[in-house]
Amino acid sequence: MIDALVTWFNERSTTELVWIALGFVAQFMFMMRFVVQWIASERVRRSIVPETFWYFSIAGGVLLLAYAVHRADPVFILGQALGLVIYVRNIYFIWSGKRADSRAAADNAAGNADAEPGRP
């Protein structure tokens, strides 16, 4: 079995081995998003999707899209490209929510600063 693996490895060009390595890294990134989601859910004892899930989704999706383009696989390309739109959109919602929360906190702090002493 080792001999077959060595033979297979020796029959591949360096470029092809780099693309295969990229494919494995991409799959690892994609797998990590589920690990992150699982750990986060276990911590709170309910199903949640943490922000890190979406960053791993984007990283894995970009790498898998590059791999799919290299392989010239239109089904794989379309699937990854559409997935990236969803991942980026979720990050946009998260960032927008954080900005809105920051503005609301600043408005509340400013409103409380104008209040008379001893009154909310």
Mean pLDDT of 89-101: 91
Domain that holds residue 62: 2-113
pTM over 0.85: no
Number of domains present in the structure of the chain? 1
In a domain, 109, yes or no: yes
Identify whether 118 is part of a domain: no
pLDDT of 46 reads 86
Q: Would residue 119 count as lying in a domain?
A: no
Q: Where are the alpha helices (DSSP H) in 1-120?
A: 2-10, 14-44, 51-71, 74-113
Residue 120 inside a domain? The answer is no
User: 29 and 80 in contact (C-beta within 8 Å)?
Assistant: no
Q: Is the pLDDT of residue 67 over 70?
A: yes
Is residue 49 predicted with pLDDT exceeding 80? yes
pLDDT of residue 113: 55
